Structure formats: C-alpha cells, structure tokens
Amino acid sequence: MSVTVRVPAKVNVQLAVGAARPDGFHDLANVFLAVGLYDEVTATPAEELRITCAGPDAGQVPLDRTNLAARAALALAERYGREPAVHLHIAKDIPVAGGMAGGSADGAAALVACDALWGTHASRAELLDICAELGSDVPFSLVGGAALGTGRGEKLTPLEVGGTFHWVFAMAERGLSTPAVFREFDRLAEGRDIPEPVASDDVLDALAKGDADALAAAVTNDLQPAALSLYPELSATLAAGEAAGALTSLVSGSGPTTAFLVRDSASADAVAEALRASGTCRSVRVAAGAVAGATVV
C-alpha cells in the first residue's frame, strides 16, 4: 500500500518585508498564489526512513534528513510515538532553490502522505502547526489557493480569487539561497527606515476580481532588489519577458525564478516561446493559478 500526494508551487504576488527581527527572521506581508506546477510525494512502508527523488533537478535535492519531506515524516512520527518507517519518493517538477517553495511543497506533501499512510488522522490545525515548524512557506503549500501570510509568512488568512491568472516562469541557470537573499536585503536596507509590512488592498482587490491587468499594476516584491544584486543577469530575463508582451515581470519570492503575468493562455505560450529564444534562462514553464494545495491523488 502507498499514498501519493500532489502539491503545487507558489508565486508571491506581494512580498512586503519588514526589518530583521531579533530571531533573524523578517516579518512579512506575503500574498501567496498556488500555481499548477506540481511535485508528487509517494509514501510507502519501509524498514526505515528513506528519500528518493526523480526529475530534471533531482541531482540537487538532498536525500538525507535535511530534506523537508524527511523532516515532516520525523515530526509526525515523533508526535504520534511511532517509527518513521517510510520510503518517500519525490517526483520533482518544481524548480529546486527557485523561490517557488519546492522544498516546502515536499514537506507539506510528505506530511499529508504519512498522515494518510499511518492513519494518524492529525487535525488540520495540528498539520498546520507541524508545517509552521518545518518552514515559513510550508503551511501555504498545505492549503494552496491564495492566502495572505503574516508573521514570518506562516500565519495564513485565505484569500478570495475571482478568476484564473496565467503565468510564465523562467528558471535560472543557478539557484539562490533564501537566507543569502534575506541577508542581502538587510545589507541594502542598512541605515534606512523599514516600514511595517502590510498587505496591499490593490493586490487583494485584483485577486478577488480575477483582474490580471490590475494585478499586474499592483504586484511588488521587496526581495527583488536583493535577488538582482546577487544575480544581476536576471534583469535580462525580466526585460525579455516584458518585451514579449507580459503584463508584468517579477522575481518569484527570493528567486531566482522569474515570473511573468500574462493575459491568457495564448499569450502565455507566446511569452514562453520568446523567453526560450532569448537565451536568458535555463528553461521555461507555463502555469495557471489558483490551484488547490497538497491533495491525496
């Protein structure tokens, strides 16, 4: 017997970042949108905890207990006083170290898969608790759809989405480490007054109306200057997507994946083709959202 859970990637349509807190994290106003690029995690009974991974980026995925899928299984097993005797296989399609919550997605998916496999029947609140311990973006991978994340991003308020948003994503040649991007944010912010992060009414209205033009005018990412500072070549990718007709372009989360909001699926295909031809990125994917969070298939 085995259980497979499908889990989406995310893009941040607003990422407002506050000053560094004493614990090193940053308070955020983080508007997440789940998009239809998926990993699948399959949990199968085994002698002991084991992780395997397949997919184009599989070579970059750690297979030890630092993997968020492994940490999720360990956390659930510990809570319920059982052995984490499970093989977790990750079929990876979300870019690794890309700012699309690929690692977080695997943590949420593994948690849901182990809960079903072991029949632990943890409540939604318990699962969300464990997710928040695993990482700031993990709770959103569980719930999907669209949500405002506050605190370090883990406290979620679900948001209404009034239509489908079409996106193109350009994967960069190399990854960026999230802590390094936050450190660069702190360095660039030195000596400046950093306001409290607050959700933008324009972003929330545009999401609720399903209005791509309004969303394009409203998206912001406070981590973008830091990501571009560490990875200046991303500017060329952003420019190539805009020149091809994207409504707007931005760095996804801490990057280096770049995201292009487009009007419809035909426009997505055209922008994707132009980005592929531009030679400014490693690969290009098209995806729409909002989509559901971690789901047993």
Binding residues for ATP: 95-105
Told to check if 255 binds ligand C5P by CB under 6 A, we report: no
Give least dist CB 242 to ligand C5P, A: 28
Sequence letter at residue 55: G
Q: Which C-beta is closer to ligand C5P: that of 182 or that of 260?
A: 182
Q: Figure out which of the listed residues 4, 25, 63, 276 binds ligand C5P, where binding follows CB under 6 A.
A: 25
Binding to ligand C5P (CB under 6 A) within 134-173 occurs at 135-137, 152-153
Q: Which residue, 20 or 214, is less far from ligand C5P as judged by CB?
A: 20
Residue 162 CB, nearest approach to ligand C5P (Å): 28
User: Which of 10, 39, 106, 115 is labelled catalytic?
Assistant: 10
Tokens encoding 266: 């035909």
Name the one residue in this structure whose structure tokens are 């991974």. Answer: 53
Q: How many residues does the chain have?
A: 297
Q: 28 or 227, CB closer to ligand C5P?
A: 28
Least gap, CB of 223 to ligand C5P (angstroms)? 10
Helix axes 68-79, 102-118, angle to 10 degrees: 30
Q: Which is nearer to ligand C5P, 95 or 135 (CB)?
A: 135
Instruction: Assess whether 137 carries a catalytic annotation.
Output: yes
Smallest distance, ligand C5P to C-beta of residue 104, A: 7
Report, in Å, the least distance between residue 154 CB and ligand C5P: 8
In the complex with ligand C5P, the residue whose CB is nearer, 21 or 82, is 21
**CA separation (Å) from 216 to 42, 114, 206, 291?**
36, 38, 9, 19
- Pick out residues in 173-202 that bind ligand C5P (CB under 6 A): 178-179, 182
Tokens 């999907």, located at residue:
144
Q: Which stretch binds ligand C5P (CB under 6 A): 19-27, 72-80, 192-200, 223-231?
A: 19-27
Size of the site for ligand C5P (CB under 6 A): 12
Neighbours of 62 (CB within 10 A): 14
Q: From the annotation, which residues make up the binding site? A: 95-105
Please give the full DSSP string across 28-59, using - where no structure is assigned. EEEEEEEEEEEEEEEEEE-SS-EEEEESTTGG
Selecting among 27, 39, 137, 222, the annotated active-site residue is 137
- CA dist., res. 172 & res. 275, Å (int): 11
Stretch that binds ligand C5P, among 22-30, 79-87, 200-208, 260-268 (CB under 6 A): 22-30
Annotation says 92 is catalytic:
no
Nearest to ligand C5P of 162, 179 (CB atom): 179
Name the site residues for ligand C5P (rule: CB under 6 A).
24-26, 28, 135-137, 152-153, 178-179, 182
Question: Active-site residue numbers?
Answer: 10, 137
